[in-house]
C-alpha cells in the first residue's frame, strides 16, 4: 500500500531536526570552540569526539528500546516528543561563551556537548526506524526519504547557512560575537524541537498496531536484555550487506566531517572570504540539494538507487581530489567545488537511508524477525564514530600543522593542511565509499525476490521457494535461518 501525501509530508518535517543539529555541530562546533571560546584545536577535537562517541552509545540503546517498547503512542513517537524541549535548552547552553578558567571551560563544554548528542541520539534512530515501519515498498521508501531529505535541506539552511548571517547581523547592530552565537544556538534548538513536535503530533499512523496495555511493568534494559541487545548487534554485523553499508557510511561520513568542519577554516584563513561570501557558499549547497531532490528520485527509480548513489559519490570524490592539484584560489573556485560536493551529499543523504531500510529486510530474511531500530541504529553509530574520528583527526592535524586560533594569519604548513582537509582527504574517502556501495549485493530485483520470502511470515517454503532461498543466500552471502 502506497503512503498518502500527508503521511509523507508529516514524516518529512521531522528531517528538519535531524539536519539542523547535525550540520550545525559538524560545521561550527569545532570552529566555535577554537576561535570563539579559545580552546586549543587538539583539545576541542577531543571534546567534540567524546560527544560523538557518547552519541554512538545512546543511538543503539534507543534503537533497541524503541524496537521493544510498548506504548499506546507507538514505538517511535514517544522518543521524538521526549527530545523536543530539552534540545532548545542544551543547544543554547552549548553555544554560550563563559568567562572561566581553562579547566572549567573544558568540563562545561564537554558536559554541554554530551547533552547535545544525548538529545540527538534520543530521537534520531527512532525517527529513522519509523520510516522503515511506515512502508516496505522499495520505491516508496525512496520517495519517503525524498520528502525527509527536502526538509533536511531546510534544516541545513538553519544549521549551516543562517549562523554566520545571524552572528554578522547582530554584531552590526552592536551585539557581541559571543551573544550572536548564543542566539544561533537558541535558534537551532527551537527549530529542531519544533520539527520533532510537528512530526510526532501530525503523523497519526501508528508504528505499533498491535499495542496491548501490559498488566505489569516490564524491564526493557535489564542485564539479560542488554546481553540480548549486544548479541543481536553481533548477529547483524556479521551480515555481509550490513558490513558493506557500514563501511560505506563510515567512509563518507568521515569525509563529510572533514569537509564540513574544515571549510569554515579554509574560507576564513586560506581565501579570507567575508562572512556574506561564506554564507553564500553554504546557501549554494542547500539550494542545490533541494533542486537535485527530484532528479535523484527519478534517476533512482529508473536506474536503481544503488548505482545512482555510487555514481554521485564517485563524481564528488574524484572532483575533490583533482581540485587539490588544480588549486582553489578564489571564491568562484569554492563555489564550483561546493556545487560538486552537493551532488555527492544529496545522493548520500537522500538515498543511503532508503538503502538502510532495505538492509532491515535483509536482516529479517536472515533472522526471521524484524529489528528495524537496531539495524538503523548502526547508521547512527556510523555517524557518531565517523564524526568522532573526523573531529579528532582534524583537530590533531590543525594543531600539528601549527594552527594558532588567535592569529588572523596562519603559516604556510597550516594553510596547506587546511586545504588537504577540505578537498583531497574527503575526496579519497568518498571513493572508498563508492567502492563499498558497488560491492553491496542488494538491488531492486534482489530486494523483490527476497521480500516474497520474507512476506511468508514463517510459513513452510515450497520446493521452488527453498531453491530461491538458496540462490539469494549465495547472492547476499548470509546464513538464512528458517
pLDDT band with cut points at 50, 70 and 90 for residue 216: very low
Measured between alpha carbons, how far is 201 from 212 in angstroms, rounded to an integer? 21
- Residue pLDDT, tens place only, 79-126: 999 999 999 999 999 999 998 888 999 999 999 999 999 999 888 888
pLDDT at residue 459 greater than cutoff 80: no
**For residue 361, what pLDDT is reported?**
85
Q: Write the pLDDT tens digit of every residue in 409-455.
A: 889 999 999 999 999 999 999 999 999 999 999 998 999 998 888 88
The C-alpha cell that represents 253 in the structure block: 561520513
DSSP 52-96: HHHHHHHHHHHHHHHHH---TT-SSHHHHHHHHHHHHHHHHHHT-
Query: At residue 212, does pLDDT exceed 70?
Result: no
Mean model confidence pLDDT for the chain: 86
User: Which residue in 74, 86, 162 sits closest to 118, CA to CA?
Assistant: 86
Q: Are 353 and 134 in contact (CB under 8 A)?
A: no
For residue range 329-388, list pLDDT tens digits in order: 889 999 999 999 999 999 998 899 888 888 888 888 887 777 777 777 777 778 778 888
Give the separation between CA 256 and CA 189, rounded to whole angstroms. 22
Does residue 74 have a pLDDT over 50?
yes
C-alpha cell at 144: 519517503
Cα 155 to chain centroid distance, Å, stands at 12
What pTM did the predictor assign? Answer: 0.76
Query: Cell numbers 547535545 correspond to what residue?
Result: 116
Local structure of residue 353 (DSSP, 8 states): H
Amino acid at each position: 500500500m502506497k503512503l498518502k501525501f500527508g503521511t509523507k509530508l508529516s514524516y518529512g518535517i521531522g528531517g528538519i531536526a535531524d539536519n539542523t543539529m547535525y550540520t550545525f555541530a559538524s560545521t561550527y562546533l569545532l570552529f566555535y570552540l577554537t576561535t570563539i571560546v579559545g580552546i586549543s584545536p587538539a583539545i576541542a577535537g577531543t571534546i567534540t569526539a567524546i560527544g560523538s562517541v557518547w552519541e554512538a552509545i545512546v543511538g543503539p540503546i534507543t534503537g533497541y528500546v524503541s524496537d521493544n517498547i510498548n506504548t499506546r503512542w507507538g514505538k517511535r513517537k514517544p522518543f521524538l516528543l521526549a527530545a523536543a524541549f530539552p534540545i532548545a535548552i542544551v543547544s543554547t547552553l552549548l553555544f554560550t561563551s563563559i568567562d572561566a578558567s581553562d579547566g572549567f571551560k573544558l568540563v562545561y563544554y564537554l558536559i554541554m556537548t554530551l547533552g547535545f548528542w544525548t538529545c540527538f541520539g534520543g530521537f534520531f534512530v527512532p525517527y529513522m526506524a519509523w520510516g522503515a515501519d511506515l512502508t516496505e515498498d522499495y520505491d516508496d521508501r525512496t520517495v519517503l526519504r525524498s520528502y525527509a531529505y527536502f526538509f533536511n535541506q531546510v534544516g541545513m539552511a538553519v544549521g549551516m547557512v543562517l549562523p554566520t548571517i545571524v552572528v554578522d547581523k547582530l554584531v552590526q547592530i552592536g551585539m557581541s560575537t559571543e551573544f550572536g552565537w548564543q542566539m544561533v544556538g537558541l535558534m537551532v534548538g527551537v527549530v529542531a524541537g519544533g520539527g520533532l513536535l510537528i512530526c510526532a503530533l501530525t503523523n497519526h499512523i501508528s508504528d505499533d498496531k498491535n499495542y496491548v496495555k501490559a498488566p505489569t511493568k516490564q524491564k526493557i534494559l535489564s542485564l539479560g536484555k542488554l546481553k540480548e541487545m549486544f548479541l543481536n548487534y553481533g548477529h547483524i554485523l556479521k551480515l555481509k550487506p550490513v558490513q558493506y553499508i557500514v563501511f560505506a557510511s563510515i567512509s563518507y561520513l568521515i569525509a563529510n566531517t572533514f569537509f564540513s568542519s574544515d571549510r569554515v577554516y579554509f574560507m576564513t584563513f586560506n581565501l579570507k572570504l567575508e562572512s556574506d561570501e561564506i554564507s553564500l557558499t553554504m546557501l549554494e549547497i542547500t539550494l542545490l540539494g533541494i533542486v537535485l531532490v527530484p532528479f535523484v528520485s527519478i534517476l533512482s527509480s529508473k536506474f536503481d538507487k544503488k548505482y545512482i548513489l555510487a555514481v554521485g559519490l564517485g563524481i564528488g570524490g574524484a572532483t575533490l581530489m583533482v581540485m587539490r592539484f588544480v588549486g582553489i584560489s578564489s571564491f568562484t573556485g569554492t563555489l564550483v567545488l561546493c556545487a560538486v560536493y552537493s551532488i555527492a551529499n544529496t545522493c548520500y543523504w537522500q538515498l543511503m537511508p532508503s538503502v538502510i531500510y532495505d538492509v532491515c529486510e535483509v536482516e529479517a530474511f536472515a533472522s526471521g524477525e524484524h529489528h528495524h531500530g537496531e539495524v538503523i541504529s548502526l547508521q547512527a553509530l556510523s555517524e557518531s564514530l565517523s564524526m568522532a574520528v573526523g573531529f579528532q583527526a582534524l583537530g590533531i592535524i590543525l594543531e600539528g600543522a601549527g594552527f594558532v586560533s588567535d592569529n588572523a594569519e596562519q603559516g604556510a604548513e597550516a594553510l596547506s593542511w587546511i586545504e588537504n582537509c577540505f578537498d583531497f582527504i574527503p575526496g579519497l574517502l568518498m571513493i572508498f565509499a563508492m567502492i563499498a556501495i558497488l560491492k553491496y549485493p542488494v538491488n531492486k530485483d534482489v530486494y523483490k525476490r527476497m521480500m516474497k520470502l520474507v512476506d511468508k511470515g514463517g510459513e513452510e517454503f515450497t520446493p521452488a521457494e527453498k531453491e530461491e532461498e538458496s540462490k539469494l543466500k549465495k547472492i547476499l552471502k548470509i546464513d538464512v535461518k528458517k
